[in-house]
């Protein structure tokens, strides 16, 4: 075993042995996200079935999605992309904080379990969005796969990165509108 691999293994063992802290409030919490922050910053609320954005009432679609066709049956979002999640997602995706995958999986798990209580169908397979080879080299990991595999373990649902493939590289989507994102991703996966 190389020194780097041994150091990483020792770090993981130490992290499992010591109590952790909540990624949001920094209070002690072995799960990485305390119940209080989960309830406060990821409240269960009505959401649009097409885009996952919060809606003021329990309606199936938000105003923006009423006239748009969706490529999928249902979008279930765990939280809005705002503080503190925007900061945590940025740290997870761009600053090598892979341990945040467990925190994000917990947020999504809670939203899924809530949807299942309301009669939503339970998925049989989790397919993470694949990264381009270039982005995988930059980051060293696929953040969608890191969340999906943890979520799959927690929910006892198979997760695999092998079925969905990326056919071409796409531009970064930061700052793009919904239509620009749709155009950017058109025919990118198979």
Helix ranges (DSSP H) in 73-142: 85-94, 100-117, 133-139
CA–CA distance, 159 with 105 (Å, rounded to integer): 13
* Bridge partners for 173 per DSSP: none
Q: Is the pTM for the entire model greater than 0.95? A: no
Region 144-152: what's the mean pLDDT?
98
The structure tokens 């705002």 sit at: 82
Average pLDDT, the chain: 89
Token pair recorded at residue 59: 């309606």
> b or e along 116-132 (b: 16 or more beta carbons within 10 Å of the residue's beta carbon)?
eeeeeeebeebbbebbe
pLDDT for residue 68: 82
CA–CA distance, 117 with 128 (Å, rounded to integer): 24
Return the biggest CA–CA distance within the chain: 57
pLDDT for residue 14: 56
pLDDT for residue 116: 92
pLDDT at 7 over 80: no
Q: What is the pLDDT of residues 82-126, one digit of tens each?
A: 999 999 999 999 999 999 999 999 999 999 999 998 888 899 999
């Amino acid at each position: 075993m190389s020194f780097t691999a041994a150091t990483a293994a020792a770090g993981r063992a130490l992290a499992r042995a010591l109590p952790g802290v909540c990624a949001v409030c920094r209070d002690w919490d072995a799960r990485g996200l305390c119940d209080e922050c989960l309830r406060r910053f990821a409240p269960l609320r009505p959401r649009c079935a097409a885009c996952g954005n919060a809606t003021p009432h329990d309606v199936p679609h938000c105003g923006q999605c009423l006239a748009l066709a969706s490529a999928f049956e249902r979008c279930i979002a765990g939280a809005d992309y705002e503080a503190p999640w925007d900061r945590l997602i940025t740290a997870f995706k761009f600053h090598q904080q892979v341990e945040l995958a467990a925190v994000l999986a917990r947020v999504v798990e809670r939203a899924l379990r809530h949807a299942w209580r309301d009669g939503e169908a339970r998925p049989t397979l989790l397919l993470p969005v694949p990264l381009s080879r270039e982005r995988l080299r930059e980051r060293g990991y696929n953040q969608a796969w890191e969340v999906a595999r943890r979520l799959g373990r927690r929910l006892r649902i198979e997760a695999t990165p092998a079925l969905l493939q990326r056919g071409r590289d796409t531009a970064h989507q930061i700052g793009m509108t919904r239509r620009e994102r749709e155009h950017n991703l058109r025919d990118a996966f198979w």
